[in-house]
Amino acid sequence: MPADGCFTPVAPLMTMQAALDLIDARIECGKGSEAIPLHDAAGRILAEDITSERNVPPQNNAAVDGYAFAHDDLGHTALSVRGRAAPGEAQAMLVRGTAMRIFTGAVLPTGADTVAPQELVHLVGDDAILPDLPRGSNCRARGEDIAAGDVALRAGTRVQPQHLALAAALGCATVEVRQRLRIALLSSGNELRSPGLDLPPGAIFDANRPMLKALLHGLGVKTTDLGILPDEPGMILAALEQAARDHDAVIASGGVSVGETDHVRAAIEALGELHVWRLAIRPGKPLALGRIGNCTFVGLPGNPVAAMVCFLRFARPLLLRLAGSGDVRPRLYRATADFAHSKRPGLREFLRGTLTADGKARAFPRHGSALITSLTESDGLIEIDEAVSEIRPGDPVDFLSYAEVMR
């Protein structure tokens, strides 16, 4: 639960790093946990470490189809084949001086320490001519994946398919996960209309809400769509008060941060507190953060490009922290600029761009931050450091792939 005044900014103009540090320092998870079936856990956040109670694999076993034998018997190039070990069967016993037919995954027979792959073995009658192999070849050791007592998965992990495989291999039928965040999503602005309605002169369609809803979906939260707030102070106050009661966070876009007559801002200040962070970034300078009771309020810019940048870089880590995730900072990849660009020093700039397979970052040719096409024709953000004023082709730049943050 955020502490009082947790969104008080630390400087009149904050760098992205300062803002992220503040989010890290001041936001913590307030969600309880629940036990759910492993099969339903994809996308959820582990509330506890998962410690292995057993060895994976449980016994030494064959990594290939072939012949198991004792390496000490390899002085003989041919061993007679006796017995057979298949997966799911109890451990067999190798007669020394012989080899045993074995199949992938079968428990290694007692006395055997090496497996020859069948394609390297020549059979003559009942004998197997064995290749010269190092001891232990083609065997998987008991506990080599996870040993009993090891922490297999850490609390705060957002469960992905591979985590399910490991938890299942450990025998976990249920896992303790954080309860889902409940998020209310709204848009505000007199000029906004939902697609499907008539568009009067001066109005535009609300582009942000479907995008933000999809971004929230990727985070695995429960989202309530409050639509476009009516431009009426009493109704806005009532809607926000109700939303704050039933949700962990309210995400708004449009007008909130700057509009002098904005009713959303007035309502939040009446119900709780609101701070406007002026961020040294472009696009997306103002970000409104506040609280109503225990509910966190995030006001994103109305411009869709700025809304996306602010969601991915600020709202996302904030929400992940609230949700109990330990992995909130996305990974950026170092790329080589395939473009030239001038910017104001002191601001961190987010260009929309693509990353080629050989690590070249190409910027969307037009820089207008209102261009939604710059989002659809890019696959990530080229982040240009505050200190830089000039990018020349060949300079290093950081690339944030949408794939890193749209999940």
Partner 1 sequence: MKLIYFAWLRERIGIAEETVTPPASVTDVTSLIEWLKGRGPGYALALAKPEAIRVAVNQQYRKGPAPIAASDEVALFPPVTGG
**Nearer residue to partner 1 within complex by CB, 12 or 75:** 75
Query: Does residue number 77 form part of the binding site for partner 1 (CB under 8 A)?
Result: yes
Per CB under 8 A, which region of 71-79, 90-98, 344-352, 368-376 contacts partner 1? 71-79
List Cα–Cα distances, 290 to 4, 18, 153, 351, in angstroms: 10, 17, 33, 28
Gap between the Cα atoms of 226 and 244, Å rounded: 12
Q: Are 274 and 267 in contact (CB under 8 A)?
A: no
Least separation in angstroms between CB 70 and partner 1: 14
**Distance of closest approach, residue 149 Cβ to partner 1, in angstroms:** 41
- Give the nearest distance from C-beta 135 to partner 1 in angstroms: 14
Q: How far apart are alpha carbons 367 and 379 in whole angstroms?
A: 15
Nearer to partner 1 (CB atom), residue 75 or residue 88: 75
Minimum CB distance to partner 1 smaller for 120 or for 166: 120
Helix or strand run (H / E) with residue 169: helix 161-169
**Between 129 and 371, whose beta carbon lies closer to partner 1?**
129
Cβ proximity to partner 1, 67 vs 311, nearer residue? 67
Q: Encoding tokens for residue 226?
A: 């409050």
Q: Which of 12, 75, 134, 365 binds partner 1 (CB under 8 A)?
A: 75
Identity (one letter) of the amino acid at 342? S
Which residues partner with 183 through β-bridges?
223, 249
Residue 129 in contact with partner 1, rule: CB under 8 A: yes
**Interface with partner 1, residue 122, by CB under 8 A:** yes
- Considering only 88, 125, 202, 365, the residue that binds partner 1 (CB under 8 A) is 125
Please say which residue, 82 or 407, places its beta carbon nearer to partner 1. Answer: 82
For residue 254, what are the CA distances in angstroms to 85, 147, 166, 257?
67, 52, 43, 8
Q: Are 65 and 119 in contact (CB under 8 A)?
A: no
Six-digit token string for 371: 């261009």
Which one, 75 or 196, has the nearer CB to partner 1? Answer: 75
Residue 119 binds to partner 1 (criterion: CB under 8 A):
no
C-beta of 13 vs 129, nearer to partner 1 = 129
Give the shortest CB-150-to-partner 1 separation in angstroms: 39
In contact, 34 and 64? CB cutoff 8 Å: no
Candidate residues 12, 88, 90, 132; the one interacting with partner 1 per rule CB under 8 A? 132
Reading the block at residue 329, the tokens are 């900072």
Interatomic CA distance for residues 169 and 79, integer angstroms: 35
**Contact status: 74 vs partner 1 (CB under 8 A):** yes
Stretch that binds partner 1, among 75-83, 276-284, 302-310, 361-369 (CB under 8 A): 75-83
**Span near partner 1 by CB under 8 A; candidates 19-27, 31-39, 72-80, 331-339:** 72-80
DSSP string, 174-218: EEEEEPPPEEEEEE--TTEE-BTB---TT-EE--HHHHHHHHHHH
CA-based nearest residue to 167, from 177, 179, 178 = 177
Residues contacting residue 110 through CB under 8 Å, at least 6 positions apart: 91, 92, 93, 94
Angle between helices 316-323 and 16-26 in degrees, nearest 10: 10
Check residue 134 for interaction with partner 1 (CB under 8 A). Answer: no
- Segment near partner 1 (CB under 8 A); pick from 68-76, 236-244, 373-381, 399-407: 68-76
Residue 372 near partner 1 by CB under 8 A: no
* Piece in contact with partner 1 (CB under 8 A), picked from 69-77, 201-209, 357-365, 374-382: 69-77
Among residues 190, 370, 186, the alpha carbon closest in space to that of 262 is found at: 190
- CB nearer to partner 1: pick between 130 and 239: 130
Report how many residues bind partner 1 under the rule CB under 8 A.
13
Question: Which ranges of 219-324 would DSSP assign to H, the alpha helix?
Answer: 233-246, 263-271, 304-310, 316-323
124 binds partner 1 (CB under 8 A): yes
- The yes or no reply on residue 72 touching partner 1 (CB under 8 A) is no
Contacts with partner 1 by CB under 8 A lie at: 74-78, 122-125, 127, 129, 131-132
